[in-house]
Amino acid sequence: MEKFTIYTGTTVPLMNDNIDTDQILPKQFLKLIDKKGFGKYLMYSWRYKDNKYTEDPDFVFNRPEYRKATILITGDNFGAGSSREHAAWALADYGFKVVIAGSFGDIHYNNELNNGMLPIVQPIEVRRKLEQLKPTDEVTVDLEQQKIISPVGEFTFEIDGEWKYKLLNGLDDIGITMQYEDLITEYEKHRPSYWQ
C-alpha cells in the first residue's frame, strides 16, 4: 500500500446523505475480479443518462472543472449498505484519495482505509464551507498533524491510532505481517517435523 502522509488535491461536492454502496457501485459490476477498472462505473446511475454511458452533463462529476478532483466532500452516512469492498475500489480507481463525510457506514469506512484512502468525518458546518471551494482551490490533508488546510479554513480530524500508523507507513495487513518476517523464518526453522 502506498504511504499517505500529506496529500494535496482539489475537491468535488456531492452533498447527498445516505449514499449507499449500491449507488457508489451498482451490483451488476461486482463480477469483475481485479481492483482496477471500477472507476468508470462509479456512481453509474447518476453519471450516465439511461445507463448507456452517455454522460449526464448536470451530474457534478461530469463537469469539466471537477474532472480532476481527488477529494470528495459528501453527506452523512456515506457508504451505508452492503459490505462490498468494490465500492471502495471504484472510488480509488476513479482517483479519490480522501472522502470527507458527516459519517460513514462502518464497513465501508474500513474498506476505504484498507485501500489506502483516508475517510474523514467532519460536521456539516465544515463541509458546507468546503462545499463552497472553487474547483481550482487546493486542499491539503496532513495525516500526521490530522489537519485539513484549505482556503476556507483549517480543520482538525480524528483517526484511530492504529489506522494512522498503517497509512503513514503504507502498511496493509500483509505489510504488518511482513514486519515479522525474521521471526517467522526463525520459527519455521524450528517447527516440529510432523507439521511439514
Interval 148-173: pLDDT, tens: 999 999 999 999 999 999 999 999 87
87 inside domain: yes
Total domains present in the chain: 1
| Confidence at 19, pLDDT banded by 50, 70, 90 | very high
The whole domain housing 140 covers 6-195
1 inside domain: no
Render pLDDT for 66-112 as a digit per residue (tens, 0 to 9).
999 999 999 999 999 988 899 999 999 999 999 999 999 999 999 99
In this prediction, residue 155 carries a pLDDT of: 98
Q: What is the CA radius of gyration of the chain?
A: 19
CA 85 to mean position of chain CA atoms: 11
The more confident residue out of 19 and 189 is: 19
In this prediction, residue 196 carries a pLDDT of: 60
The CATH number that applies at residue 85 is 3.20.19.10
102 inside domain: yes
Q: Which of 42-51, 58-67, 138-147 has the lowest mean pLDDT?
A: 42-51
